[in-house]
Structure 1
Amino acid sequence: MRHVTENNEHVNTARGNDSHEVLGASFRLTDPRQRALFLTSRPVNPVYHYAEALWYLGGLRNLDLIGHYASRRRADSRDGTTIEGSAYGARIFAARPDGAPSEFDRALELLKAEKDSKRAYLPVFEARDLDEIGHPDLPCLVGLQLLARDGYLHMIAYMRANDANRGMVCDVYSFTLIQEFAAAQLGLRLGSYTHHVGSMHVGVRDLERAGRVLEETAASPRAMPLFAAPVMPAHTTWKHIRTVLEHEELLRTNQVQYTPADIAGLDLPLYWRRVLLLFEAHRQVVNCPTEPVDRQLLEALEPGARWQFERRWPTRVATEEVR
């Protein structure tokens, strides 16, 4: 963000959104599990992070899930019920119309057969997207490349454009979680994550907030993050993903109310039970607007996610001083 705001090469005005821009920006995370932000100047929504990643993994394009956790996504829909361009998961994880395996399954089969392959590429941006002139819902993601090397699974993301202040935070979270899931399916350790962007930019309207983020990071050069990153179990399967999505829908539609004991009794690893705890906490935020979120539930969250949740919804944890 500092590079884009202080060394911008262009002022871009695409679709009326003024932004400071640099071309051909890249960075690498040596540990992609360190995907979460812990900045008071940049509160994030940990519920949305998992919701978006699961929306992708489910191969979904409907608005029901993603629109619930971010109403702004509804503006991306052409028909009021689905999203096409930015529904990356529908292009990566959904089975093809002819019944053939998904692009993801094909890539994994390739890596199982040719462990050093360079061809395990998951395309998202398509030639037909060039015809969509003027519509805001076009894929920013060009594609993801999986590379198995020396027992590790590395991922490279290719973006045509990325907002360093907004979309990049969510994109990196989702893509590295997908990478970690892919590594589990292949029985590999988690390797590095590389993020290439054609147009990296920060909106002019966001420069003030970007400045606050840079001030905080400059004033507090402590090691980040504050919390140990949760590790997705190596035995995570598609069944676990489907189970989490099923319970998420029940919570989102307020058909169930779960206590920590209820969730502890589910046939899921702790990692995924804690994700469901987040969705239950969000259910309480939405459906019990005058009541604080259950303290026992908050205490059962993964510590980093609890820190983020309490800063995203500070008024909902007013019964106890935010740590």
Structure 2
Amino acid sequence: MVAPAVFPSFQHAYAAVLRHVSENYEFANSARGNDSHECIGASFRLTDPRRRALFLTARPVNPVYHYAEALWYLGGLRSLDLIGHYASRRRADSRDGTTIDGSAYGARIFAPRPDGVPSAFDQALELLWAEKDSKRAYLPVFESHDPDEIGSPDLPCLVGLHLLARDGHLHMVTYMRANDANRGLVCDVYSFTLIQEFAAALLGLRLGTYTHHVGSMHIGIRDLARVDKVLEETAADPESTPRFAAPVMPADTSWQHIRTVLEHEQLLRTNQVQYTPGDVAALDLPPYWQRVLLLFEAHRQVTHCPADPVDPVLAPSSSRA
């Protein structure tokens, strides 16, 4: 048996995955018209899941979207209001123009069931509090009825998340039916490792390793040129370390903190408020989550006040988040 390749940061894993699929792809296919190169059965492990961000010139990312997506999941939401605001492309996943079903992973993990049964996440944490070495704390996402509608644009790529408490650390294993190595993988690892870190905080455990298993790891033909640029950049210094220290979620982070951030994100998104750093500092939030709100305030200024420059006071906070 071969263990997953181990990396100190997602940036290292990302470059290795792109290189592997680019140089060793097994199939060229066109599922639903999306031409791609594919490897079957790909895995990697991160020793420090906090180092989830990319810092690459050839692959710019949007930290505002990363936090928005993670919070959308944590909020157990299906509505397009939040996620569609930060990425209009997500609206293409909706059948009714207002909600998302399949890729709204948070609704399947964090939302209580209509019959009053606690969420899958709450049940998993209860299990880990009761049985510290349990192998049963699994958060299922993909359901048996999901493939019923052939050709649906909204089928979950995530099969499930597996929480494992071992020796005072919380490890997590993710199972994906498919991942676009250049696109979805970047967002998925960011959100899932943040969920892992939040779960560790709630359980009072240290953050353990993160393992990512994928059935179909692929790269779209349309992205090959950009992938080549990423590989050129990372090949120039393959052992490079991302230049900014990874922020550490406070150990006392609670559901109330998540609800507070979501409440103020909505006010900022709908331009009902505008915040200075002083305003955010006055909120009952740890500095970590204050910096996330300052990112949303910067986005509010860009979205609702495009003619005005973003308040430079927000820049240092944004770069650290």
Normalised by the length of structure 1, the TM-score is 0.93
Structure 2: distance between partners of 1:7 and 1:222 = 22
Instruction: Report the counterpart of residue 321 of structure 1 in structure 2.
Output: none
Instruction: Tell me, in whole angstroms, the C-alpha distance in 1 between the residues paired with 2:30 and 2:91.
Output: 23
Q: Does 1:25 align with 2:42?
A: yes
> Does the residue aligned with 2:32 lie in a helix, a strand or coil?
helix
Runs of at least 5 residues in structure 1 that lack an aligned partner in the other structure: 306-323
Does structure 2 conserve the Cα–Cα contact (< 8 Å) formed by 1:62 and 1:83? yes
Alignment match, 2:215: 198
Is residue 35 of structure 1 aligned with residue 58 of structure 2?
Answer: no
Which amino acid is 1:268 matched to? L
Letter matched to residue 188 of structure 1: L
Matches within 5 A, 1:168-247: 168-247=185-264
Q: Report Cα offsets for 1:81-116 as digits up to 9, x if no partner.
A: 000000000000000010110000000000011100
Separation in 2 of the partners of 1:89 and 1:221?
35
Q: Report what 1:92 is aligned to.
A: 109
Q: Which amino acid aligns with 2:73?
A: Y
* 2:129 is the counterpart of 1:112: yes
Structure 2 matches for 1:294-309, cutoff 5 A?
A: 294-303=311-320, 305=321
SS at match of 2:253: coil
CA distance in 2, matches of 1:74, 1:297: 29
Match of 1:249 in 2: 266
Structure 2 residue aligned with 1:141: 158
The one-letter amino acid of 1:28's match is R
How far did residue 299 of structure 1 move?
2.1
Question: For the residues of structure 1 that align with 2:138 and 2:285, how far apart are their CA atoms?
Answer: 30
Once the 2 structures are TM-superposed, how far is the Cα of residue 300 of structure 1 from its aligned partner?
A: 2.7
Match of 1:311 in 2: none
Aligned residues: percent identity? 80
SS across alignment from 1:212: helix
C-alpha separation between the residues in 2 aligned to 1:208 and 1:47? 25
Matches within 5 A, 1:41-120: 41-120=58-137
After TM superposition, the score normalised by the length of structure 2 is 0.94
Maintained 8 Å contact 1:12/1:20: yes
More displaced stretch, 231-240 vs 221-230? 221-230
2:184 counterpart of 1:167: yes
Aligned residue pair count: 304
Cα distance in 2 for partners of 1:6, 1:128 equals 36
Secondary structure in 2 matching 1:42: coil
Question: Which amino acid in the other structure matches residue 302 of structure 2?
Answer: V
- The whole-number CA distance in structure 2 between the counterparts of 1:288 and 1:186 is 41
Deviation sequence 1:173-231 (CA, Å, 0-9, x none): 00000000000010000000000000000000000000000000011335321111000
Partner of 2:22: 5
Match of 2:206, as an amino acid? R
Using the TM superposition, give the Cα deviation of residue 132 of structure 1 relative to its aligned residue in structure 2, in angstroms: 2.0
Q: C-alpha separation between the residues in 2 aligned to 1:203 and 1:234?
A: 39
Match of 1:16 in 2: 33
Superposed, 1:260-275 pairs within 5 Å as: 260-275=277-292
Matches of 1:250 and 1:117, distance apart in 2: 40
Structure 2: 5+ residue stretches without partners:
1-17
For residue 15 of structure 2, what is the aligned residue in structure 1? Answer: none
Distance apart, 1:302 and its partner CA: 4.3
Conserved? CA contact 1:274–1:302, under 8 Å:
no
Contact 1:115 1:148 in 2 (8 A): yes
* RMSD (CA atoms): 0.8
